[in-house]
């Protein structure tokens, strides 16, 4: 059976040793089906950031620019778009669970692409936890700075903020 499946499905076929401990088997399966997600923070060198994103898109990554995706959902008047529009119209901040729901729908839409770039989300630790709980892990975080800059500056130097940038600073 294995030779038939290997021939028919090629690199979509994976052998997993189920005699390993359950945690090891689960980690192997998760690595095979979980998407690769790279997050780009807004840094001081947006030209470098844009070039890196462009290069990754050329290599098959899909750029998920969250603000653009929200705009598309609201313009299309989907059920999720209606929820987003109601929140935006009320001047409220969009809860992370709605953004994650939108991203999950795209990432697990059945398309062949399994490599994604997240732009402008997540911003705070709560967003990261929500994303990783409901979608998957973030493989890498890039913060592009100008040559010679080695520090991340925080507004008001509030290291108690629950932002991703405050973690970089700490």
- 23 and 67 in a single domain? The answer is no
- 28 and 39 in a single domain? The answer is no
- 127 and 50 in a single domain? The answer is yes
What tokens appear for 65 in the block? 């620019």
Domain with residue 132: its CATH number is: 3.40.50.300
Domain membership of residue 13 as a residue range = 1-33
Query: Which residues, in sequence order, are bridge partners of residue 158?
Result: none
- 141 and 74 in a single domain? The answer is yes
pLDDT of residue 167: 53
- 92 and 29 in a single domain? The answer is no
pLDDT of residue 159: 43
pLDDT of residue 108: 85
- 72 and 115 in a single domain? The answer is yes
What's the chain look like in SS3? CHHHHHHHHHHHCCCCCCCCCHHHHHHHHHHHHCCEEEEEECCCCHHHHHHHHHHHHHCCCEEEEHHHHHHHHHHHCCHHHHHHHHHHHCCCCCCHHHHHHHHHHHHCCCCCCCEEEEECCCCEHHHHHHHHHHCCCCCEEEECCCCCCCCCCCHHHCCCCCEHHHHHHC
How many structural domains are present in the chain? 2
pLDDT of residue 88: 94
Per-residue pLDDT of the chain (170 residues; tens, 9 = 90+): 888 888 888 877 888 888 888 878 777 776 677 788 999 987 778 899 899 999 999 999 999 999 999 999 999 999 999 999 999 999 999 999 999 999 999 998 877 788 999 988 888 888 888 998 888 888 888 888 777 765 555 454 444 455 665 555 44
- 86 and 10 in a single domain? The answer is no
Query: Which residues, in sequence order, are bridge partners of residue 41?
Result: 143
């Amino acid at each position: 059976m294995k030779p038939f499946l290997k021939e028919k499905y090629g690199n979509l076929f994976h052998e997993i040793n189920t005699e390993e401990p359950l945690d090891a088997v689960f980690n192997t399966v998760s690595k095979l089906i979980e998407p690769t997600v790279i997050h780009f923070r807004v840094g001081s060198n947006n030209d470098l950031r844009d070039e890196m994103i462009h290069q990754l898109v050329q290599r098959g990554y899909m750029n998920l620019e969250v603000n653009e995706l929200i705009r598309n959902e609201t313009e299309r008047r989907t059920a999720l778009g209606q929820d987003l529009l109601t929140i935006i119209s009320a001047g409220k901040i969009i809860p992370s669970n709605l953004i994650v729901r939108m991203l999950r729908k795209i990432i697990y839409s059945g398309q062949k692409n399994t490599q994604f770039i997240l732009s402008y989300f997540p911003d705070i630790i709560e967003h990261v936890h929500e994303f990783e709980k409901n979608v998957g892990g973030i493989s890498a975080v890039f913060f592009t700075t100008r040559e010679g800059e080695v520090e991340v500056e925080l507004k008001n130097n509030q290291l108690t903020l629950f932002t991703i940038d405050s973690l970089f600073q700490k």
